[in-house]
């Protein structure tokens, strides 16, 4: 029974959760990761809304399925009611069910999702918002991040270039332009509920605004080869002051250490608003 062992040891590893009890731990697993962005709650809220509507309609289906199966089983209800279901009342009921699903869930979530999509997720920060600008490049199997240096221009000698290590300030909008060097990747921030594909030859972008300082994971969500699962980067969110301190240090270091002879360094591109 060797294969039971990891299960047990996993449980031991979760000893901290033990006091939660079984249901507590189950509930814990059913939650998305901690939300660290201003607008992540929109997605969580819409998910919750859809879930409640779904549960309502699925319970209806189950009531019909199990209820009818029980109530009209042959031993209890030997004579079936002969109908084609084309009486007016039948058609009306079927239509009402169809429309209530469509109007009750679909049109509602479409409208809300559309509002969020247009109003928030594709409402890109402009130059006036002074967002943190990042360029991200995916390659098999690592993420590169680039900050403009003191000159505010990308792809110049004083850029801060990070490997698998993204640092962001909180309470400021962040806009990331994403590109891939080889195959398609997908830049995935589980904690910000956001992802966007990194595609060779085509810029995509993504923005969010962190709210909490801490350490988080960044992943690649699109299959990109054998070590796809290892394409993990680290996100550190700082308070504005800590971020400023880190940035000035990193910029100084970049001026010192950037090897301008190395063409590999200049994978960036001109920032396009």
Q: Site residues for other proteins, window 12-31 (CB under 8 A)?
A: 13-14, 17, 25, 28-31
Please give the Cα distance from 220 to 183 (Å, whole number): 12
Site for other proteins in 104-133 (CB under 8 A): 105-107, 109-110, 113-114, 116-118, 121-122
Site for other proteins in 80-109 (CB under 8 A): 80-86, 90-91, 93-95, 97-102, 105-107, 109
Query: Which is nearer to other proteins, 107 or 245 (by Cβ)?
Result: 107
Please give the Cα distance from 50 to 156 (Å, whole number): 47
Query: Which is nearer to other proteins, 45 or 253 (by Cβ)?
Result: 45
Closest CA to 149 of 63, 255, 230: 255
Q: What is the side-by-side strand order in the sheet with 233-238? A: 165-169, 233-238, 214-220, 185-189, 194-198
Closest CA to 250 of 262, 266, 232, 238: 238
Q: Which of 38, 46, 142, 247 binds other proteins (CB under 8 A)?
A: 46
DSSP assignment of 83-126: --S-SHHHHHHHHHHHHHHIIIIIIHHHHHHHHHIIIIITS---
Query: Which is nearer to other proteins, 217 or 249 (by Cβ)?
Result: 217
Site for other proteins in 248-267 (CB under 8 A): none
Q: Does 41 bind other proteins (CB under 8 A)?
A: no
CB 180 → other proteins: shortest distance, Å? Answer: 7
Q: Does 269 bind other proteins (CB under 8 A)?
A: no
User: Any idea which residue has 């814990």 for tokens?
Assistant: 28
CB 97 → other proteins: shortest distance, Å? Answer: 4
Please give the Cα distance from 137 to 163 (Å, whole number): 10
Q: How many residues bind other proteins (CB under 8 A)?
A: 103
Q: Which of 47, 129, 249, 260 binds other proteins (CB under 8 A)?
A: 47
Cβ contact 159:247 at 8 Å: no
Please give the Cα distance from 213 to 210 (Å, whole number): 8
Site for other proteins in 153-172 (CB under 8 A): none
Q: Which of 69, 88, 163, 259 binds other proteins (CB under 8 A)?
A: 69
Query: Which is nearer to other proteins, 44 or 158 (by Cβ)?
Result: 44
CB 254 → other proteins: shortest distance, Å? Answer: 23
Site for other proteins in 137-156 (CB under 8 A): 140
- Tokens in use for 198? 């990194």
Site for other proteins in 209-228 (CB under 8 A): 216-217, 219-228
Fill in the DSSP letter of residue 32.
P
Q: Please report, in angstroms and rounded to a whole number, the separation of the first and last CA atoms in the chain.
A: 59
């Amino acid at each position: 029974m060797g294969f039971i062992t990891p299960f047990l040891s996993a449980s031991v590893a979760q000893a901290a959760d033990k006091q939660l009890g079984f249901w507590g731990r189950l509930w814990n697993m059913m939650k998305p990761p901690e939300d660290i962005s201003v607008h992540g709650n929109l997605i969580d809220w819409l998910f919750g809304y859809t879930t409640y509507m779904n549960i309502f309609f699925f319970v209806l289906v189950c009531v019909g399925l199990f209820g009818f199966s029980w109530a009209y089983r042959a031993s209890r209800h030997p004579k079936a009611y002969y109908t084609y279901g084309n009486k007016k009342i039948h058609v009306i009921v079927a239509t009402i069910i169809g429309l209530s699903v469509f109007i009750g869930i679909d049109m509602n979530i479409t409208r809300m999702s559309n509002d969020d999509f247009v109003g928030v997720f594709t409402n890109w920060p402009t130059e006036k918002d002074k967002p943190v600008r990042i360029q991200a490049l995916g390659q098999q199997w690592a993420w590169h991040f680039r900050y403009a240096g003191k000159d505010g221009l990308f792809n110049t000698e004083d850029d801060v270039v990070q490997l698998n290590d993204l640092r962001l300030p909180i309470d400021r909008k962040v806009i990331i332009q994403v590109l891939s060097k080889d195959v398609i990747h997908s830049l995935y921030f589980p904690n910000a509920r956001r992802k966007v594909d990194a595609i060779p030859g085509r810029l995509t972008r993504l923005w969010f605004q962190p709210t909490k300082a801490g350490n988080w994971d960044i992943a690649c969500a699109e299959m990109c080869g054998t070590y796809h699962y290892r394409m993990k980067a680290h996100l550190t969110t700082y308070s504005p002051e800590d971020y400023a301190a880190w940035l000035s240090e990193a910029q100084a270091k970049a001026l010192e250490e950037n090897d301008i002879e190395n063409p590999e360094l200049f994978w960036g591109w001109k920032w396009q608003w």
